[in-house]
Structure formats: structure tokens, C-alpha cells
């Protein structure tokens, strides 16, 4: 099953709607709750990042018999040093992001912790692509 | 282990979500998490069923939803706007508000046996 979502620029209040929709679908498919939670947390953090660090983007979700694969593509500012961005506590988040309850530099570590496959590629000035897979 | 109703009584809290959800107040919570940082909640609260927070926005409800939490208690007498209450009703998350601050509210639940 393939699902696709557009995340809009600056829509702070709606950030997380796509993750919530995916969670609902996985529940209907009777995926175990602890597996759904891993997928939901990883995708939610990545979706939030698209809004607070980039200018929105597109999320494609592929639900396969043995895994869920999520690709998040944005055309934001990109990440100059990915190894640094992966470290716990590293954050360039704005005050606006912090007011949302994010921006403590735990997002990418949370994504890595909750996924069975994680890949992030980024080019400064072009954008960022995050790929997350969780085994079912 | 205590019911959501007992949590409300200990914190002298007001329930803000719809009256037709009141049967849900008999649901039990076995552990709680107090935080203003949603990434911390997402990282460290797997299996916890109650969130206490001073963060008053839609993301607090979404975080509770992602973590399968049953209830959110807003501290320091903070009252959420209707859009927040609507989202909580839709996602079956019970909302309460208490006058106590985060530290005190967590402490009161803790000494009453909710760890
Ligand atoms: N989609 C993105 N576009 C641009 N920069 C990003 C993106 N995602 C993450 N980053 C960068 O990586 C850092 C770490 O991300 P994360 O671990 O989620 O922490 P936080 O979001 O709390 O800052 C961010 O502060 C930001 O500098
Ligand atoms: Mg983040």
C-alpha cells in the first residue's frame, strides 16, 4: 500500500498530521502497537523537522508485507554536517520550534533509535532526504 | 496503578474533554511522564500512559497520540484553546488542567503511588 502526503511550509499547527494518518492506517492493518509506535515516533520527528528546519516537502510511505518504508523529501536549506546533526543535543532550531516543544537535538537520534534502517542525505542549498524503514 | 479519575482527584484537576468520554476516566494509568520537551517524551516514555506538561499546543496532543498515552494534564492552570480540545476528543486523549506546577503535580502523583 502506498500513501503520499504533502507537508506545507510554515504550517506549525498541522505538523504531525501525516504521521497521525499513517498511525491510523497501521492500526487498521492490525500492526502490533509497539511496532506502530516506532514508526509513528520516527516519522513524527522527521515530519516536524520538515516544517521547523525546511519549507515543507513530500512524504511517501510504502507499507509492504515485511516492512514500512518512509521517504521524506524537502527542498530546504540542507544540512552542512550530517554527522554533527545526528548527535544528541545538536540543534539549530529557532525559538518558534522550541515553543512547539521541539529543538533539543533529539529528533534524528529518535529516528535512528526507532528504525531498522535509517538514511539521511542532504545537500546545502538543495534539500534533505530522510529514509526510514521499520520491520513488521 | 490508579484510574484517571483518581489522578484528577489528587491534582484537583478539571476535565476538559467531552462528557461522553467520561467513562474513560475509569481507565487505569500505570506510569506517568512529566516534560515540556516533546522529543524527550518521544524518546523516553514508551509504555507510560499519562503526560503532565506545561506545553499548551497541538503537538502535545499529537505526542500523546504517537505514544499511545491516555491522558494529558496541563499544569499551572493552563487552559488549552478549543482546537486543542477538539483534537484530543478526536484522538481519544483525555485532557485535564491542574493549578499545580509540573514539579508539584508529578510529586503528588508519585507519593500516591504512580511511578
Ligand atoms: N529537514 C532538515 N532540513 C535542514 N536541516 C535539518 C533537517 N532536519 C534536521 N536538520 C538539522 O539537524 C539538526 C538536528 O536535528 P534534530 O535531531 O531533529 O534536532 P532538532 O530538530 O531538535 O534541532 C537540526 O537542528 C538542523 O540543524
Ligand atoms: Mg527535530
User: Which stretch of A52-61, A97-106, B85-94 has the lowest confidence by average pLDDT?
Assistant: A97-106
**Domain limits, chain A:** 2-135
**Residue B69 cell numbers, joined:** 498515552
C-beta separation of B23 from B5 below 8 A: no
Q: Which residue has the cell 525546511?
A: A54
What does the pLDDT read at residue B115? Answer: 86
ipTM surpasses 0.90 = yes
Q: Which residues of A touch B39 (CB under 8 A)?
A: 45, 101-104, 106-107, 110
- Tens digits of residue pLDDT in A9-51: 988 889 999 999 999 999 999 999 999 999 999 999 999 999 9
Sort out which chain B residues have CB atoms less than 8 A from A37's CB and list them: 46, 66-68
Which region among A97-106, A107-116, B84-93 has the lowest average model confidence (pLDDT)?
A97-106
pLDDT, mean of residues A93-120: 94
Domain segments of chain B: what residues? 2-111
How buried is B67 (Cβ within 10 angstroms: 0-12 exposed, 13-18 middle, 19+ buried)? buried
pLDDT at B21 exceeding the cut of 70: no
Which of B55, B49, B20 lies closest to B114 in space, CA to CA? B49
Q: Is the per-residue pLDDT at B7 higher than 90?
A: yes
Shortest Cα–Cα distance, B60 to chain A (Å): 8
Closest CA to B113 of B41, B33, B14, B30: B30
pTM equals 0.95
From ligand 1's centre to the CA of B80, what distance in Å?
28
Rounded to the nearest angstrom, the distance between the alpha carbon of B82 and the centre of ligand 1 is 30
Residue B23 pLDDT exceeds 80: no
Q: Looking at per-residue confidence, does B115 or B36 come out higher?
A: B36
Place of cell 484537576: B13
Residue A7, burial from CB neighbour count under 10 angstroms (0-12, 13-18, 19+): buried
In which element (H, E) is residue A118 found? strand A117-123
The pLDDT value given to residue B44: 85
For domain A2-135, give the CATH number.
3.30.565.10
Of A16, A37, A99, the CB nearest to B67: A37
Options 3.40.1390.20, 1.10.443.10, 3.40.50.2300, 3.60.21.10; CATH for B2-111 is 3.40.1390.20
Amino acid at each position: 500500500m502506498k500513501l503520499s502526503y504533502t507537508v506545507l511550509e510554515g504550517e506549525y499547527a498541522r505538523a504531525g498530521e501525516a504521521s497521525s494518518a499513517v498511525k491510523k492506517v497501521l492500526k487498521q492493518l492490525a500492526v502490533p502497537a509497539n511496532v506502530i509506535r516506532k514508526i509513528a515516533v520516527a516519522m513524527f520527528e522527521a515530519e516536524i523537522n520538515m516544517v521547523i528546519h525546511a519549507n515543507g516537502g513530500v512524504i511517501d510511505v510504502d507499507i509492504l508485507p515485511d516492512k514500512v518504508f518512509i521517504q521524506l523529501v524537502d527542498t530546504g536549506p540542507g544540512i552542512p554536517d550530517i554527522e554533527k546533526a545526528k548527535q544528541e543535543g545538536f540543534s539549530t532550531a529557532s525559538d518558534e520550534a522550541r515553543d512547539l516543544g521541539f529543538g533539543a537535538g533529539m529528533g534524528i537520534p529518535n529516528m535512528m533509535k526507532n528504525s531498522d534502517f535509517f538514511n539521511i542525505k542532504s545537500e546545502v542549498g538543495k534539500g534533505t532526504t530522510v529514509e526510514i524503514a521499520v520491520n513488521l | 496503578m490508579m484510574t484517571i479519575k483518581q489522578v484528577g482527584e489528587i491534582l484537583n484537576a478539571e476535565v476538559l474533554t467531552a462528557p461522553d468520554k467520561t467513562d474513560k476516566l475509569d481507565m487505569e494509568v500505570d506510569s506517568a511522564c512529566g516534560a515540556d520537551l516533546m522529543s524527550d517524551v518521544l524518546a523516553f516514555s514508551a509504555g507510560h500512559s499519562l503526560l503532565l506538561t506545561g506545553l499548551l499546543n497541538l503537538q502535545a496532543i499529537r505526542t500523546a497520540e504517537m505514544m499511545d498515552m491516555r491522558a494529558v494534564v496541563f499544569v499551572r492552570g493552563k487552559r488549552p484553546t478549543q482546537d486543542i480540545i477538539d483534537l484530543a476528543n478526536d484522538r481519544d486523549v483525555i485532557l485535564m488542567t491542574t493549578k499545580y506546577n509540573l514539579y508539584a503535580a508529578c510529586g503528588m502523583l508519585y507519593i500516591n503511588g504512580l511511578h
